[in-house]
Amino acid sequence: MDINKFTPTGKLAKKHLVSLSGYTEEDIFEILHRADGISKSLAVGEKPVFLKNKKIALITKGGLTRWRLAFENAVTSISGEPVVCQMSGSEVENLIKDKLTLSAILSYGIHSLVVQTSEIGDAEAMEKLVELPVINGFGKFGPLEALSALYTIWTKKGKLENTKVAVVGNPNLTDNQFLNAFAICGFNITFVCPNSYSPNDALLNFCRQFGEVEVTSDLKSGIKLADAIYVVDEDVPLSFAITQDKLEDLEKSPLIIHPLPLTENGLIGEDIADSPIFCGLSEAINLPLVEMAVLSLIVN
C-alpha cells in the first residue's frame, strides 16, 4: 500500500500499544500520518490539545534518560500532564502482581500508562490488569522506536512502498519491534548475518507473510540494493561493520537506521555516524512526534 495515498480516519481501533505484531499496515499508517500532522502544526506555532486535562503516567526503572525526556516532551507538547513514577525493578515486579494497588494508583486521574522498562513482559502484564490504554515505552528495540524509524524513512525517502531493507547483525534478539514494523509495511527484507545467527523459522515465516525475504552472510551482496540498512550490533563480529568503504559502488545511497545510543565497538563506524545518511539523530528527534501521535489516537 502507498502511504502517500492513504486516507487517515483520525481513529485507531487499538486500545493498547504493547507490540506491533497485532497491528496492521493501516494502523501504522494512521499513526505516521498523525505524527506528520502534529509536526506541521508545531512548525507553525500551533499547540495541539489532544491531551487537554489528561494525565499520562510513566512507570520507569530508569532515571533521566533520553526516553523519559522524549515522553515528557511528547505529553506536554499536546497539552497533557506527565506523571513520572520512577521505581526499582522489584517495585515494578510487585506492582504488576498487585491488581488492586495498580487499579488504585490509576484511579487518581490517570488516563494512560506508559511502561518504560527493559522487559516487554512488564507492559504485557499491565495491559491485562487495567482498562486504561497501556503503551510499551521500551527503548532501542521497542514499538515507539520502530515507528520513529518508519517515520524517518518516509520523510527522508518520500515513500515506504517497495522499500528494501538490509537487517545487518543479530536478527534473533527478543522482541525486536523493528522487524515487526518492516514486515507489516511490506518491506523486502534481507537478513545479513553470520551463519550461526541466521533468523529462526518463526521470524522468517512471519516476515514472508508480507514481503520478500532473503538471508545471506555476505555483507557486500546483502546491502547492494538496500534503500535502508538497519543495524543490530549486539555481539556480532566487526567484519559486519558498516563503514564508508563498504558503501562504495552501491546502486543506491541507503539510510542507516540505528536507535541511539551507539554501541561501543559496535557495527557503526565513526565515519558513518558523522555522515548525512546516518539517521540515528533523526529517529531520536522524531520519537516524541510518534509518541504524540500514538497518545492522541488511543487516549479518549
Q: What is the DSSP letter of 268?
A: B
For residues 125-137, average pLDDT = 89
The confidence score (pLDDT) of residue 290 equals 98
What pLDDT band is residue 174 in, cutting at 50, 70 and 90?
A: low
Taking the C-alpha atoms of residue 103 and residue 208, their distance in angstroms, rounded to an integer, is: 40
Taking the C-alpha atoms of residue 148 and residue 145, their distance in angstroms, rounded to an integer, is: 5
The confidence score (pLDDT) of residue 286 equals 97
Helix axes 280-298, 66-77, angle to 10 degrees: 50
The confidence score (pLDDT) of residue 224 equals 93
Q: Which residues of 227-258 are buried (b: 16+ CB within 10 A; e: fewer)?
A: bbbbbbbbebeeebbbeeebbeeeeeebbbbb
The confidence score (pLDDT) of residue 175 equals 67
Taking the C-alpha atoms of residue 187 and residue 262, their distance in angstroms, rounded to an integer, is: 24
CA 235 to chain centre: 21
Taking the C-alpha atoms of residue 133 and residue 152, their distance in angstroms, rounded to an integer, is: 25
Let me know: does 139 contact 114? Beta carbons within 8 Å.
Answer: no
pTM of the model: 0.94
Residue 221: helix, strand or coil by DSSP?
Answer: helix
Q: Write out pLDDT tens, residues 51-107.
A: 999 999 999 886 658 889 999 999 999 999 999 988 887 888 888 888 888 888 888
CA distance from start to end of the chain:
28
Residue 215: helix, strand or coil by DSSP?
Answer: strand
Domains of the chain: 3-142+285-298 (3.40.50.1370), 143-283 (3.40.50.1370)
Q: Write out pLDDT tens, residues 274-295.
A: 999 999 999 999 999 999 999 9
